[in-house]
Chains A and B, each alone.
Chain A
Amino acid sequence: MHQQIIVNITLPVFLLICAGIAPLLVSQYHLSFGLQVFMMLALAQSWNLISGMTGYISFGQVVFFGIGAYTAAILLPLGLHWLPVIGVGTLMAILLALPLGLLTLRLRGPYFAIAMLGLNEVVRIIATLWVDLTNGGSGISLSPTLLPDLSTNYYSMLILAAVACGIIWVVHGSRFGLELRAIREDEAAAEMVGVNTTYAKFVAFVGSAAIPGAVGTVFTMYNSYINPTSAFAPDLNIQMIVMVMLGGSGTFWGPILGTVLVMGLREILWASLPALHMAILGVILLIIVLFLPNGVLSLTSPKIRIRFDLTK
């Protein structure tokens, strides 16, 4: 019980405090790196909600990120304050997720994965061709005077990461989370014991779309430039998957651990092997699938997992 309090309450609060005071202590470069870590953590947890919990592997989660990113890029030059823009970006992602969920969640297994990948491509092409709105392939550059400073963006991303983790925490311990995990295990059997699988998947899908929508808006504010290739980048989706699967899919701690490991590794590889770093991440994914299907958390003994409540 004592250890569980340390892991479940003291450790997250300590990490949050450290992250909160970091802008006062670290350089701009490290602050920027921290922002990217929180961005990936929020995205990984959002992927975890739909794919880790239900087993519906999405290769199109990045489409919601792109929608959020473009919402910010289009609205900020109109003079809107950045805070409501985050809300609108989230809303736009949800509005897109509603029909997409109704259409795609009828599919299972690889069909769902491929449909989501295809949808991301469709939206990317629309963003490229709709020049009047998006400026096409040239993208949209934003004047720094329209954008919040790095510290503000850092805190925004930190809050989004904390919210994403909080959602996973609450869902995992809830009846709804149990239903999602039952769907992952055996959808037909779950339905046979009273789980409204269509409703549960739909809520998880829409919820998981909201987070990248918000993250996308903050990314535009941070990056000050967006184009279809960076907004709807399939490799961003692959990174989410690697992070969740490396740590432990369907768990609270897995994506946190996976994000820290991958971002740390990426930072090292990016500096030393810039051309190969994505290929190396691909190899890592292959190794995980082959040898560690339940992520690095599964390397700990069951006793330790129960003692420290890491099964969550």
Chain B
Amino acid sequence: MVIEDALPRFEGDLRRGAIVLAAMSQLATAQYGYSLRQRLAEHGMEVEEGTLYPLLRRLENQGLLSSEWRIEDGPPRRYYRMSDEGRRLYPQLVTSWRNLSAVMENLFKEGHPYDL
């Protein structure tokens, strides 16, 4: 079925932007990749490791995160946290997300002729 094939693709498109915000929401304190993924999963946000780990580096390159290597229990791990730039941008992104979410809710209420 075309719809069955399309669902994961469209869902992926919808989640792509949300993952950035979801990751930033948990990086007020330093986290390494695996622990961040666990925290997101605990909140119901399952993210594939192959997507999340490269994303963290991209966000660091864009200046939203900073990172450092630490040796605690286990092998050396790279810990990420929001940079000053990220901390400035994060509340604005959250506001944008809430506005967008409210707009979408209104659209769903008014626009769809079928029961959801």
Q: Do A and B come from one complex?
A: no
**B-contacting residues of A (Cβ < 8 Å)?**
none
